Amino acid sequence: METGNLKKATFAGGCFWCMVSPFDKQPGIHEVISGYTGGHTEKPSYKEVCSETTGHLEAVQITYDPEIYPFEKILELYWGQIDPTDPGGQFHDRGESYTTAIFYHDEEQKELAEKSKNALQQSGKFKDPIATVIREASTFYPAETHHQDYYKKNSLHYKMYRKGSGREDFINKHWG
């Protein structure tokens, strides 16, 4: 049952193809869009973002019902999809556009993101410091159509990429 109280959550976690599927399958998640955010150019293309000249990160923007799937659960799922200690990208994808970030849309999200990041740091799960940054959300630009729902459209390539990049093994080893 919808409450009409939908919210947005925005995360960068390396390749956006790999960030859609885990969220897309959850109850209360209405939409997951791949795109770009955090940079200084308007309406960047994939090629421009990959050139590392726009300041944008590959990201996903999630529309969710907080009464069904609260932001705390979204944060927990997010952490389990990334290597939060890598400041240079994610897995074999290197560069600023592949770094991790939580983009908060209001003060409550900011506080919850900081709390979860601190808890992860204090947990001792990782020996290196948590490198994921927490930033205020800015304009989100949806990626080109062929990048949307990539895991559904190109499932074999997606599975090979997820495994070949090292993401899947890392997640299994560190997050279970």
Provide the annotated active-site residues: 15
Give the whole-angstrom CA distance, residue 161 versus residue 15.
10
Query: How many Cβ atoms from other residues are within 10 Å of residue 34's Cβ?
Result: 21
* Cβ atoms of residues 135 and 105 within 8 Å: no
Residue with tokens 């399958």: 25
Q: How far is CA 13 from CA 1, 4, 5, 113, in A?
A: 30, 28, 26, 14
